[in-house]
Structure 1
Amino acid sequence: MSDQQSTTMSERTDRESRSGHIYMQTNEKQNVVIHYSRSADGDIREVERVRTGGSGAGEFSPISGQAAAPSGFESARSVILTSDRKFLFVTNGGDNTVSSLSVDEDGGLALLDVKPTGNAVVGPSGTAKSLAYAPSSRTLFVLHAFGPDHVRLMSVDRDGLLTPRVERYSVNTHDKTDRVSTMLSLSPDETILLVGTVFDQPPTANPDGSAILWLHGADGNPKSLATNAPDPDGIIAFPVGEDGALGTPTFYDAHAGSPFFIAFLHNRPDTFVVGAAVGDGVVMGTVDEAGRLSFGSVVAINTDAGKPTEMCWLSVSPDDRSIFATVFGYSYIVSYHINGNALTVAQDPASAAVPGSGKFRALNGNVTGGPTDSFLTPDGAYLYQIFGNAAKLVGYAVQPDDSLKEVTEVSIPLNSPQGLAGF
């Protein structure tokens, strides 16, 4: 074999190893998962659409009551893969059900089961929104935006079939009985389940449709609806038993308003990062041997374009050196660098802003493309970002300085899509 032939075969093998699959739920009334193939150069193409057997919320936002809005659930991780890539789990927020799908060797999907979470649907839509899975106990944790039963459990058998469990858990407090949660994050050792929050009660609307984010407190002074602003109870930590059951929660000060997104680092299981929607930045946190959490100070982005930035979704690089933070209010992505326990802004912005339909504005009044969930490939080479109000899924090549270069985009339904997972 010639050197040229050997090099060509090596390059082909490398390209094939860098290809993969991405999954996104449309969250439409008749919910489906779109399966995309990903080529070695980052390009994506739709392969199939598989019905989940459940109902999404469509463009309706259960939290704000808006008839058409991206990020209707203020959620993350509504689509997750098991670590062995055998099953894909998906929330159906419209009817509060969860779907289990099998994943074959070629990434193809087949519906296995659909089961209710146990929470009744009140009004036009349910709010099942975020998932986490504990392989050791085969427990699926399901988070709802509204309580009092925010967290429900399901058991998963070896064939991927679901059995709803009777346990139910709340992130409310004695004086905050209508809190809005955002997402679940399970520690790598499966001993702690963290829950993020966004509002201490759902916001109402002004006559012009803008959200009312302040209330008058008992002392007559304005009080923010945002969690952890300033009340020190925005992140909730549940101890997890061997059977997946949760213990008594502990409430923590996340050091920033609306601690929305929580992600553990890949190679440092005692360290995690938090995206703060109203804190306008990222916070680093740690878990000690006793399971207690501690938090650093928020590292904020440039907020000249208005507050809150609604900087919510995070993707962490496989080497734990970079974070890509989705800024809903500015319609672009900002990157951070991690150096030990130090966190700094790398590129602000890291990508160009993506314009939306012009009919939706963020809480800061800016017209936005409505970016929500993101997915970073396991090799850290490509980042994919949902822009719901621009009706597109955009793919970027990660540059050496952690800026992002657009390499692909595909059309998706307007506003409704949620969740990204892949391999």
Structure 2
Amino acid sequence: MATESMTMKDRPMAKGKPGHLYMQTNEVKNTIVRYERRADGSLVELERIATGGAGSGVYKPISGQESAPNAFEGAASIILSPDRRFLFTTNGGDNSVSSFRVSEDGRLTLLDVQSTGNPVEGKSGTAKSLAFAPSSRTLFVLHSFGPDHLRMMTVDAEGKLKLRPDRHTVNTYSKRNRVSTMVVVAPNEELVLVGTTFDEPIAHTGFYPDGSPMLWVQRAGGAMHSIASNAPDPDGLAAFPLHKDGSLGTARFYDAKGGSPFYLAFLNKRPDTFIIGYAVGDGCSVCTIGKDGTLNIGDLVKIDTSAGVPTELCWLAVSPDDRTVYATNFGYSNICSYHINGGGLEIARDPACPKVPGDGTARGLNGTVTSGPSDSWISTDGAFLYQIYGNASKLVGYATQPDGSLMEVTSVTIPYNSPQGLAGF
């Protein structure tokens, strides 16, 4: 690839709009790292602000590993309110949420820290993903483990948080230990969607001698069954009706048409359309919401899986013009890209960037040694994509290219294995 052969000196200088980027360290004493994002895409760390809560550190609750990247296996653990007045972050270690005021120059002021209401059982909690419904000022907080996967808070005009009594599950009658990954509010604020990864935590199944987790359990009668959600049982995507007061109706479970529908990303200019990234399905699909509120799940478009399955294609970033989606492959230590062509997807570049090596201690579900890439964020002008590589202790910035490829322009050192979440403007 051109991105591999070019030297830094040969690369054309990318230009975009300067701004701000935020990441949580997820260390036991959790902090938010604030970066200045310069016009050339480079990052300058400005400060670290304590959240007042605890992260899970390097410990990974869903697998029980003492140290592993993508520690609480989630997405969108940091979000900004649509008016950019407030930043919210999870504190996965103690199951709490922190709210910050965001000044015009990007500075953060801690406003409040409140428990999600779910007790911490064992070494760490699992509060992992956030979504905000501005019309009812409702903040949704998703946990890896249930039964109360989804808790809710009200955000007042000053950014203070108040826990609501509501509690919802993505468990079903036959699946009592599901692992959820991400919560999203539909742009019309009529649905709340929740993606899932596993029907049983990896910690319940164990590990192979090479350190890679087992994906199969033996059921009564001797039959082997995948613990990946929606593989094969067609119920991996939950959709809750969202009422005007922020409360939720009864969930409807959909066949997501691929294993582990991990990440949900709505398009920017088509509010009825979203992309699913499948951790075990090894690809993406385009989905729509019908006028009656039902979900229509499109065909899964897979990436090249010759390096082993599952690829753990998990996190997505949609370009502001809705032409490209960038998909992070945890198992492959890289990113691939798709072009959005009307109603479907086609591979743009696979991979879109070279593999980023880690320290050799972490393995994906397919046994591949991984640097543990997790959350990503694309700048609001679409010029730069930023990617966490936890096991490499790097946050890497790429200049986006018209063909879907990515050109590295910056790299900064971050804490080992634990960092989660990216948000900016």
Give yes or no for the alignment of 1:392 onto 2:394.
Answer: yes
**Aligned equivalent of 1:186:** 185
Contact kept? 2:52, 2:98, Cα under 8 Å: yes
2:354 and 2:212 map into 1 onto residues whose CA distance is: 26
**Aligned equivalent of 2:68:** 69
1:207 and 1:254 map into 2 onto residues whose CA distance is: 28
**Aligned equivalent of 2:95:** 96
RMSD of aligned Cα (Å): 1.1
**Aligned equivalent of 2:30:** 31
1:215 and 1:123 map into 2 onto residues whose CA distance is: 23
**Aligned equivalent of 1:3:** none
Give yes or no for the alignment of 1:205 onto 2:225.
Answer: no
| One-letter amino acid matched to 1:61 | K
Secondary structure of 1:84's match? coil
Give yes or no for the alignment of 1:142 onto 2:141.
Answer: yes
After the TM superposition, which of the residue ranges 413-422 and 205-214 deviates more from structure 2? 205-214
Give yes or no for the alignment of 1:107 onto 2:109.
Answer: no
Secondary structure of 2:391's match? helix
2:387 and 2:113 map into 1 onto residues whose CA distance is: 27
Contact kept? 1:286, 1:295, Cα under 8 Å: yes
Counterparts of residues 229-248 of structure 1 (less than 5 Å): 229-248=231-250
Question: How far apart are 1:219 and its partner, in Å?
Answer: 4.1
**Aligned equivalent of 1:283:** 285
Contact kept? 2:388, 2:395, Cα under 8 Å: yes
Contact kept? 1:306, 1:364, Cα under 8 Å: yes
**Aligned equivalent of 2:306:** 304
Question: How far apart are 1:184 and its partner, in Å?
Answer: 0.6
Give yes or no for the alignment of 1:369 onto 2:368.
Answer: no
**Aligned equivalent of 1:82:** 81
Deviation per residue, 1:339-368 (Å, 9 max, x gap)? 111211100000010000111111111111
Deviation per residue, 1:43-67 (Å, 9 max, x gap)? 1100110000000000000000000
Give yes or no for the alignment of 1:196 onto 2:198.
Answer: no
| One-letter amino acid matched to 1:23 | Y
**Aligned equivalent of 2:264:** 262
1:225 and 1:207 map into 2 onto residues whose CA distance is: 15
1:222 and 1:77 map into 2 onto residues whose CA distance is: 33
**Aligned equivalent of 2:167:** 168
**Aligned equivalent of 2:9:** none
**Aligned equivalent of 1:50:** 49
Contact kept? 2:88, 2:97, Cα under 8 Å: yes
Question: How far apart are 1:369 and its partner, in Å?
Answer: 0.8
Question: How far apart are 1:20 and its partner, in Å?
Answer: 0.2
**Aligned equivalent of 2:6:** none
Secondary structure of 1:389's match? helix
Contact kept? 2:317, 2:376, Cα under 8 Å: yes
1:85 and 1:154 map into 2 onto residues whose CA distance is: 18
| One-letter amino acid matched to 2:167 | R
**Aligned equivalent of 1:340:** 342
Secondary structure of 1:326's match? strand
Secondary structure of 2:90's match? strand
Deviation per residue, 1:122-164 (Å, 9 max, x gap)? 0000000000001100000000000000000000000000001
1:110 and 1:348 map into 2 onto residues whose CA distance is: 41
Question: How far apart are 1:72 and its partner, in Å?
Answer: 1.5
Question: How far apart are 1:217 and its partner, in Å?
Answer: 2.6
Contact kept? 2:379, 2:424, Cα under 8 Å: yes
2:64 and 2:294 map into 1 onto residues whose CA distance is: 37
**Aligned equivalent of 2:384:** 382
1:122 and 1:379 map into 2 onto residues whose CA distance is: 42
1:334 and 1:123 map into 2 onto residues whose CA distance is: 36
| One-letter amino acid matched to 1:329 | G
- 259 and 207 in structure 1: CA distance in 2 versus 1, 3 angstrom threshold: closer
Question: How far apart are 1:405 and its partner, in Å?
Answer: 0.1
Contact kept? 2:266, 2:273, Cα under 8 Å: yes
Deviation per residue, 1:154-210 (Å, 9 max, x gap)? 000000000011000000000100000000111001110000000001122136343
1:153 and 1:333 map into 2 onto residues whose CA distance is: 33
> What fraction of aligned residue pairs are identical, expressed as a percent?
61
Unaligned runs of 5+ in 1: 1-13
**Aligned equivalent of 1:10:** none
Contact kept? 2:285, 2:344, Cα under 8 Å: no
**Aligned equivalent of 2:216:** 214
| One-letter amino acid matched to 1:199 | F
1:227 and 1:385 map into 2 onto residues whose CA distance is: 26
Contact kept? 2:143, 2:180, Cα under 8 Å: yes
Give yes or no for the alignment of 1:119 onto 2:121.
Answer: no
Contact kept? 1:144, 1:150, Cα under 8 Å: yes
1:207 and 1:191 map into 2 onto residues whose CA distance is: 43
2:208 and 2:333 map into 1 onto residues whose CA distance is: 25
| One-letter amino acid matched to 1:332 | N
After the TM superposition, which of the residue ranges 17-26 and 408-417 deviates more from structure 2? 17-26
Counterparts of residues 350-369 of structure 1 (less than 5 Å): 350-369=352-371
TM-score by length of 1: 0.95
